[in-house]
Amino acid sequence: MLLKILTPSVLKRTVSVGIFSRLRSTNVKMSLEEAKQAAAIQAVDNFIQNNMVVGIGSGSTVIYAVQRLAERAETENLKVTCVPTSFQAKGLINKHNLKLAELDTHPVIDVTIDGADEVDSNMVLIKGGGGCLLQEKIVASCSKLLIVIADYTKDSTKLGDRYKKGIPIEVVPMAYVPVKQKIEARFGGKTELRKAIAKAGPVVTDNGNFILDWLFTDQNLNWELVNQELNLIPGVVETGLFVNMCYKAFFGQPEGGVVERIRK
């Protein structure tokens, strides 16, 4: 009788939760990809409702969020309008036949779901490892809620505990040398121009800029003030520090559960 009264959407969610529950009960460790998927499913199911405008972030974890949105669109007739933060996000939206929009037609977003390179205990984020920090921050700033989905390796007490690649800073190409020198003189550490992998030369963002990765050494800095100072340096377009922006984070765990954290 139970199966007869469950809707297809409830059945779908029950199966997903059951898989993760069985993994917990047998003490089988999940892979990082499974942990990402668990966080994505829980975030989408908890926050996305019908007729919402949804910001779609970038990165490997967001792939699972878009897949979940597509599943719910099929099983529940969920209708959402998706605003991408990058070329990759736009491709995911189109691939899964979700409704695509842009900020010029939908400047107010209900919820943005995005990944992060690191989240500290104060819910300060490092983002931009994939090079999309400017568009990610613009979309996040237009959102009523920013929700982060990640695996347990992104959960830190202090920035730099786990993520060792530094804070990405998008800069105008002509200014990268003076910006690099000013950051190192003011805050210490080392700042490196991010190099491309598949071609010679630097990484070029979707906006035609370069990225500096600031390898900071002081983990006790006031990140809100640092972010403000960095943005005042001429030539800096945006930083990968997301301060006072994330409302809630979901971290998929190796045992199969999901840890949730809300910004105080």
Active site annotation includes 118? no
Does residue 39 fall inside a structural domain? Answer: yes
Q: How many residues does the chain have?
A: 264
Are residues 205 and 103 part of one domain?
no
**Stretch (H or E) spanning 250:** strand 248-252
**Does residue 260 sit within a domain?**
no
Is residue 149 domain-shared with residue 185, that is, in the same domain?
A: no
Of 154, 188, 118, give the one whose Cα is nearest residue 180: 188
Same domain, 31 and 141: yes
**Looking at the structure, do residues 99 and 179 belong to the same domain, yes or no?**
no
Same domain, residue pair 149 and 171? no
For 208-255, what is each residue's pLDDT tens digit?
Answer: 999 999 999 999 999 999 999 999 999 999 999 999 999 999 999 998
The CA–CA distances, whole Å, from 223 to 120, 131, 175, 216, 257 equal 11, 20, 23, 11, 30
CATH of the domain at 216: 3.30.70.260
111-142 tens-digit pLDDT = 999 999 999 999 999 999 999 999 999 999 99
- Indicate yes or no: pTM above 0.95: no
- Host domain of residue 19: 13-155+244-252
Pair (38, 62) in one structural domain:
yes
* Annotated catalytic residue within 71, 136, 170, 238: 136
pLDDT in tens, 29-66: 778 999 999 999 999 999 999 999 999 999 899 999 99
Q: Looking up tokens 């922006």, which residue turns up?
A: 245
Judgement on whether residues 232 and 111 belong to the same structural domain of the protein: no
Instruction: Judge if 112 and 221 occupy the same domain.
Output: no
Pair (150, 28) in one structural domain: yes
Task: Answer yes or no: do 30 and 143 share one domain.
Answer: yes
